[in-house]
Amino acid sequence: MLNRLAYILQNFKFLNLVLASSFIYISCSDMDSIHDEYLNGEIIYAGKLDTLKIRPGYYRAQLEGYTQFLGTSNQITIEYEEQIISYPIEDNLSDIYSVIIEDLDEGSYEFNVYTQDPNGNLSISQTIAGSVIGDEFISDQNPREVLDYSFEPEGNYVNFYGNAESEFVIYTLID
């Protein structure tokens, strides 16, 4: 019994030695491997517009963004539906940069927006969705009804009904 226990302990020590050696062999790799992705230098990004908004227009859209993080960027590029349009960014900017994208068809769009600085560095691209209205949208609109009007010495007044016919949900049951 004692010989058997000594044999098991001896095999257990050998097994632990083999396992420890294999873990050390597997875990040891080139110490510089964690730095490989940085050996070509750091990636420099251009400044970008912040909090982008798309405002719909009649066969056009307006892109707006805050300029606080724009840095030295001097060009903005907008990509949509296989179209690429670039606009210059002037040096004396206000707090909000605004550009109108013309000649768009009516519908929904996804705009991919990025900027570029004088050194050719690009910003991280941003994607924003927006809509463009046209004749079809306008033909579906109903004019608001006039509730009353008055002619006063200080000005004329027109009161319209609200947008909804009722404060309750209007629905139809379909069998």
The CATH topology of domain 50-137 is Immunoglobulin-like (2.60.40)
Confidence at residue 165, expressed as pLDDT on a 0 to 100 scale: 57
The count of other CB atoms within 10 Å of the CB of residue 77 is 16
120-167 pLDDT tens trace = 999 999 999 999 999 998 888 777 788 888 999 999 988 877 665 555
Q: Which amino acid type is present at position 170?
A: I
Enter the pTM of the model. 0.63
3-state DSSP assignment of residue 145: coil
Residues 6+ apart with CB under 8 A from 115: 46, 47, 48, 49, 70, 73, 75, 76, 77, 89, 122, 123
Domain ranges of the chain: 2-30, 50-137
Alpha carbons 145 and 140: distance in angstroms, whole number = 16
In the chain, the percentage of residues whose pLDDT exceeds 90 is 50
85-132 pLDDT tens trace = 999 998 877 899 999 999 999 999 999 999 999 999 999 999 999 999
The answer to whether 88 and 77 have CB atoms below 8 angstroms apart is no
